[in-house]
Amino acid sequence: MKESKIILFVFLACFSITVPIEVSGQSIVIIGQDSFEMYSNPLKAKQILHDKVYERIPEGDYIRDMPPYVAWWRLQNDSLFLDRIVDCYSTVRSDNHKTVLMDIEGIFDAYLQDGKIFASWYSGELDVAGGECIYQAGMGFRSDYEDQWIYRVENGCVASKTTYRNERRETALSDNIVSLIETLFNGDRFPELADNYVIAKVQVIPRPDGSIDSLGLAIRVVADKSSISQVRDDDGQWIENDFSNPYIQELKECVLLVPAWDYVKLRGQVHPMPGCELRIWEGKGCKDVCSNSFDNWAFIDTLSANGKTYKLKNTPLQYDMNLYARIRSRLRDEFIPSCLRGYTANWEIRDGKLYLISIRGAKSRQPLPLDVIFPGNNGNPIEATWYTGELYLSTGNDLERGNSARRNTSYKVKKGKIIK
């Protein structure tokens, strides 16, 4: 990247994709005609020099998340030189943010060589990044780039150089994996969880093809929802990586249904994806939750009643997750961000009863035989005797026009029969 563009990246540096590394006092290195982000600060190797630089920082209010200075270095003929130091605070406070250089006269006199500051005090690594940014984080932490060079420096001279090609593979469900696992977990498999809450932790190391190389799981049952925020990691109540435990086994089945995982390789090593905490179960019927909006109305179930067709806010099939569990493995290629459950269903009310008419894959829109869920059904409508709750409906035409004054109606159902 050219020198004229590098300042933009100084103020955008941030969290690493895997292991956040704080970068206090940003550095830029010039190699040939190009300038690169450098996540090393040779000034810190000589504390007296670093302290003298800090003494030149002008007084004033501290600017949060901004390094007080940026040191520009130059690698030339396998030697490291300090080129200049930008006073970030003065730059930001100047008219039009014009770059202000720090006055460093008298600090580096002992290291002057032919009018240049030779960093002979420094021995260590120079971590240099370039190419396309594969993960951009926030101020004060490093971003990750596709190209990375590690220079080993001894007394200011380059002794060796190692080149890495970093990789990041993103999947279509990158931002929805947590929600997908929460959608898939079948708490109805365990009757004792009917009135309990379950939280979990998942840690995955992926392969380049998006499959799982290694997996870490933890799970915990909480009786009171209000106590979830008080759960600690070190109180000994978590079930961790016990793959003989039925809750862990169920969680593993759900994790393995995720079609693919993001892949991150830095400095030749595959890094685990950031661990996540999930609320995978909130009691009986928790997966049949009324939505506050119809943002994804194209993937909402429909219900026919009294000659009209409505959009259905509920997902009655998932009131009993044992039923949904019979088809979820067939839906692995149907999970999409706008429909994480992987299907849409058509329902009908007739003769005072609720019936399941058909199911289609969310992505393919292909029908799924009902006898997969109900063996021997032969494609006939299924009376929803498993469902108890309230169905919330809205007219589809109002939704298509974006009309906020939607006509709504509801039915109370008990074991598949309309009671109100």
For the residues of 262-314, what is the DSSP string, one character each? Answer: -EEEETTEE-PPPPEEEEEEESTTTTS---S--TTGGGSEEEEETTEEEEESS
**What is the sign, positive or negative, of the torsion defined by CA atoms of 79, 23, 233, 278?**
negative
Task: Mark whether 143 and 20 lie in a shared domain.
Answer: yes
Whether the pLDDT of residue 21 is over 90: the answer is no
Phi, psi of 104 (to 5 degrees): -110, 15
Task: Mark whether 20 and 157 lie in a shared domain.
Answer: yes
Last residue in a domain, options 282, 315, 344: 282
Mean pLDDT of the chain: 85
Percent of the chain topping pLDDT 70: 86
pLDDT class of 14 with cuts at 50, 70, 90 = very low
**117-133 average pLDDT score:** 95
pLDDT class of 191 with cuts at 50, 70, 90 = very high
Give the CA-trace dihedral at 246, 252, 257, 260, to 10 degrees.
Answer: 180
Whether the pLDDT of residue 237 is over 90: the answer is no
pLDDT for res 63: 67
Higher-confidence position of 189 and 89: 189
| pLDDT tens, position by position, 280-289 | 999 999 999 7
Lowest mean pLDDT among 13-22, 310-319, 333-342, 358-367: 13-22
pLDDT for res 139: 58
Kindly state whether residue 292 falls inside one of the protein's structural domains: no
- Give how many domains the chain has, as a whole number: 3
Kindly state whether residue 16 falls inside one of the protein's structural domains: yes
Task: Mark whether 156 and 25 lie in a shared domain.
Answer: yes
Task: Mark whether 9 and 154 lie in a shared domain.
Answer: yes
Kindly state whether residue 288 falls inside one of the protein's structural domains: no
| pLDDT tens, position by position, 132-168 | 998 877 655 678 899 999 999 999 999 999 999 999 8
pLDDT for res 398: 46
Task: Mark whether 29 and 157 lie in a shared domain.
Answer: yes
Task: Mark whether 124 and 49 lie in a shared domain.
Answer: yes
Task: Mark whether 254 and 353 lie in a shared domain.
Answer: no
pLDDT for res 11: 24
Task: Mark whether 89 and 198 lie in a shared domain.
Answer: no
β-strand pairing of 308-312 with 301-305: antiparallel
pLDDT class of 351 with cuts at 50, 70, 90 = very high
Range of 234's domain? Answer: 169-282
Total-model pTM: 0.74
Higher-confidence position of 129 and 408: 129
Kindly state whether residue 333 falls inside one of the protein's structural domains: yes
pLDDT for res 3: 39
Task: Mark whether 392 and 409 lie in a shared domain.
Answer: yes
pLDDT for res 313: 87
Kindly state whether residue 372 falls inside one of the protein's structural domains: yes
**346-375 average pLDDT score:** 95
| Chain CA centroid to CA 226, Å | 25
pLDDT class of 397 with cuts at 50, 70, 90 = low
How many other C-beta atoms are found inside a 10 Å radius of the C-beta of residue 314? 26
Task: Return left, alpha or beta for 340; rule: phi > 0 is left, psi -120 to 50 is alpha, else beta.
Answer: alpha
Whether the pLDDT of residue 410 is over 90: the answer is no
Picking from 318, 392, 381, 316, the residue whose alpha carbon sits closest to that of residue 355 is 381
| pLDDT tens, position by position, 244-290 | 999 999 999 999 999 999 888 888 888 877 777 899 999 999 999 75
Kindly state whether residue 239 falls inside one of the protein's structural domains: yes
Last residue in a domain, options 165, 196, 217: 165
Task: Mark whether 19 and 64 lie in a shared domain.
Answer: yes
Kindly state whether residue 287 falls inside one of the protein's structural domains: no
Cβ contact 29:115 at 8 Å: no
Beta-carbon contacts of 104 under 8 Å, excluding residues fewer than 6 positions away, are 53, 56, 84, 85
Cβ contact 145:129 at 8 Å: yes
**319-337 average pLDDT score:** 95
Amino acid at residue number 294: F
Task: Mark whether 106 and 187 lie in a shared domain.
Answer: no
pLDDT for res 95: 83
**235-248 average pLDDT score:** 92
Task: Mark whether 159 and 91 lie in a shared domain.
Answer: yes
Last residue in a domain, options 109, 136, 165: 165
pLDDT for res 2: 40
**235-245 average pLDDT score:** 90
Kindly state whether residue 303 falls inside one of the protein's structural domains: yes
Lowest mean pLDDT among 47-56, 237-246, 275-284: 275-284
